[in-house]
Amino acid sequence: MLQSYSFVLPLKPSVQDQGSATQIQLPVRQIQSIAYNHSFKKRFRCRCFRYFSNSDLNATRIESKTTEFLESFSEDEFPSKTQEDDHPGTIQSGICRQLNAFYRFSRPHTVIGTLIGITSVSLLPLESTADFSIQFFVGLLKALVPSVLMNIYVVGLNQLFDVGIDKVNKPYLPLASGEFSMELGIAIVSTFLLMSFTLGIMFQSPPLLCALIVSFIMGSAYSVELPLLRWKRNAFLAATCILIVRAIVVQLAFFIHIQKYVLDRPIVLSRSLAFAVAFMCLFSTIIALFKDIPDVDGDRDYGIQSFSVSLGQKNVFWLCISMLLIGYGSAMVIGASSSYLSSKLVTVLGHCALASSLWLRARSVDLDSKASITSLYMFIWKLFYAEYLLIPFVR
């Protein structure tokens, strides 16, 4: 193998031009590796030395010879793509980037909230360990899969109509950053919506299908830019959308789905279900208010009249913290009134721990830092998950 190639085109200078020789480098190609079958893998640089004189004729001859030498190699012998471009590691890296972008596109904290919320509510109709049957787990899976698909439709639709806002508030999202094209975003959203409704119809559970339809209507009304829609522009309507889906539909629809269409029992509303609906109404309202606190800049620029824009970040921040602390206090009172000792201990101590952690975390937040406020917002989602872990113990 020949690792480098260089040549010299000699030119004898005239007597009058002697003493004015200068070495120059022409911008030509360099061969990195030449096989015996003349299959060139990369472009090469050829170093050429010539004498420069005042004679234009001599310079022209040299450049002509150099050009003829380079053109003797056809363009096909210099492929633009190297072997490294087709390396399996490069392909895997590209796939990983796309998966990471889809992970961010799906807004995983909302997906986790859907999974935990439905699972928690599905446990409320159970009366004994004997109810943990294959039938129950299949029914739970039938509830989870189409609901997660609908969740991704809702958050994806919001990103499709919020690209400009997200470039200010959330530039890391794939549509705002340009990792996903609008066409790809539309394809993902449409596909997940179709799959969600298809599964909802196949599973033949009216409350499940009702939950999907309401989620579709509320999610579309929240985001779509059409007359009488785009409810996110109004703070009250935006909070109503989230409250209806997260606090009412999830609790009632999936409770009935498990109790009647999985366990085949008559519908009887329990104390724990009433607590779940009431507390999640409060929690969903807080999430609806708090989520706009770090997004004030983009919302103000695009005319979104959220409570944070109207009332100010600081006022809405402490309003949310106060509401949630009052909710935790009420939950401790309800838990203490239970006739079961285990229920008292878990609900009282659990809500006391959540309230304490919220208060300590809120006091350390820098309200002038968007990153600090966003961090607390994600912490509130963790409290949301934790609450669903406590709800089954309210008896």
pLDDT in tens, 335-381: 898 888 888 899 999 999 999 999 999 999 888 888 888 899 889 98
Please indicate, yes or no, if residue 90 is contained in any of the structural domains. no
- Find how far residue 343's CA is from the centre of its chain: 37
Please indicate, yes or no, whether residues 143 and 104 belong to a single structural domain of this protein.
yes
pLDDT of residue 89: 63
Where do the H-state alpha helices sit in the chain?
56-71, 88-105, 108-123, 134-161, 163-169, 174-177, 182-202, 206-223, 235-243, 250-261, 271-290, 296-301, 307-311, 313-336, 341-363, 370-390
Q: Is residue 102 part of a domain?
A: yes
Number of domains in the chain: 3
Does residue 300 sit in the same domain as residue 340? yes
Q: Say yes or no: 111 and 244 in one domain.
A: yes
Together in a domain, 258 and 275: no
Of 37-46, 133-142, 287-296, 370-379, the range with the lowest mean pLDDT is 37-46
d(CA 329, CA 331): 5
68 and 144: one domain?
no
Q: How far apart are CA 212 and CA 150, in angstroms?
A: 7
Q: What angle do CA 123, 126, 129 make, to 5 degrees?
A: 105
**Do 233 and 113 belong to one domain?**
yes
Q: Report pLDDT digits (tens) over 44-85.
A: 444 444 444 444 444 445 445 445 544 444 444 444 444 444
Task: Please indicate, yes or no, if residue 88 is contained in any of the structural domains.
Answer: no
> Is 206 part of a structural domain of the chain?
yes
83, 106, 127 - which closes a domain: 83
Instruction: Kindly state whether residues 108 and 231 are assigned to the same domain.
Output: yes
Domain's final residue, options 267, 295, 324: 267
pTM value? 0.69
Shared domain for 108 and 253, answered yes or no, is yes
Q: Within this chain, do residues 103 and 75 fall inside the same structural domain, yes or no?
A: no
Indicate if the pLDDT at residue 168 is higher than 70.
yes
Lowest mean pLDDT among 35-44, 172-181, 386-395: 35-44
Answer with the residue of higher pLDDT: 127 or 322. Answer: 322
Q: Which residues contact 26 (CB under 8 A, 6 or more apart)?
A: 46, 47, 48, 63, 66
114 in a domain, yes or no? yes
> For residue 27, is it within any domain?
yes
- Band of residue 138 on the pLDDT scale cut at 50, 70, 90: very high
- What CATH number corresponds to the domain at position 222? 1.10.357.140
**Of 54, 83, 112, which marks where a domain is finished?**
83
Q: Is the pLDDT of residue 193 over 50?
A: yes
Which pLDDT score is estimated for 346?
A: 92
DSSP 12: P
Residue 37 falls within a domain, yes or no? yes
Are residues 174 and 115 part of one domain?
yes
- Determine what percent of the chain is predicted with pLDDT higher than 90: 43
User: Comparing C-alpha atoms, which of 192, 161, 167 is closest to residue 179?
Assistant: 167
pLDDT for the residue 239: 83
Q: Is residue 186 domain-shared with residue 316, that is, in the same domain?
A: no
**Full DSSP string of 279-326:** HHHHHHHHHHHHTTGGGHHHHHHTT-B-HHHHH-HHHHHHHHHHHHHH
pLDDT digits (tens, 9 = 90+) for 299-324: 777 777 777 777 788 888 999 999 99
Residue 291 lies in a domain: yes
- Whether 327 has a pLDDT exceeding 80, the answer reads yes
pLDDT band at residue 93, thresholds of 50, 70 and 90? confident
pLDDT of 59 reads 46
* Residue 256 sits in the same domain as residue 145: yes
Residue range(s) defining the domain that contains residue 14: 1-83
